[in-house]
Amino acid sequence: MPGTQAAFRAITPDLAVWLDMLVDQRSRKEIASTAGLAESTLRDRLVRLENVTGAADQRELVRWWRENRVPWVRWLIERLPQVWSPPAEMD
């Protein structure tokens, strides 16, 4: 299976929401409509993520996300100081 770090880097916050919707057994049509995307665009993005995670199909991708959602959030939080710093307090 490809590296977990590469997969984590490929997951955007929007994609995480779509993955959560897949876990909730929402259809790709419903997810695409909610996201304001063409169903084909959503399908292409999910297929790319399947390739990065090593998932053979959408069902395996859902299983991968169930196992890696919390580790992804932890990974993301660890990197927040690198990409974001709180605004300085105003006097």
| Residue found under tokens 């977990």 | 4
Residue 2, pLDDT > 70, answer no
What's residue 3's pLDDT? 73
pLDDT at site 27: 94
pLDDT value at position 1?
A: 44
Average pLDDT over residues 32-36: 94
Q: Is the pLDDT of residue 15 over 80?
A: yes
Look up the pTM and report it: 0.80
pLDDT at 18: 94
Using the CB atoms, write b or e for 56-91: b if 16+ within 10 Å: eeeeebbebbeebeeebeebeeeeeeeeeeeeeeee
Mean pLDDT of 46-63: 94
* Single-letter amino acid, residue 73: V
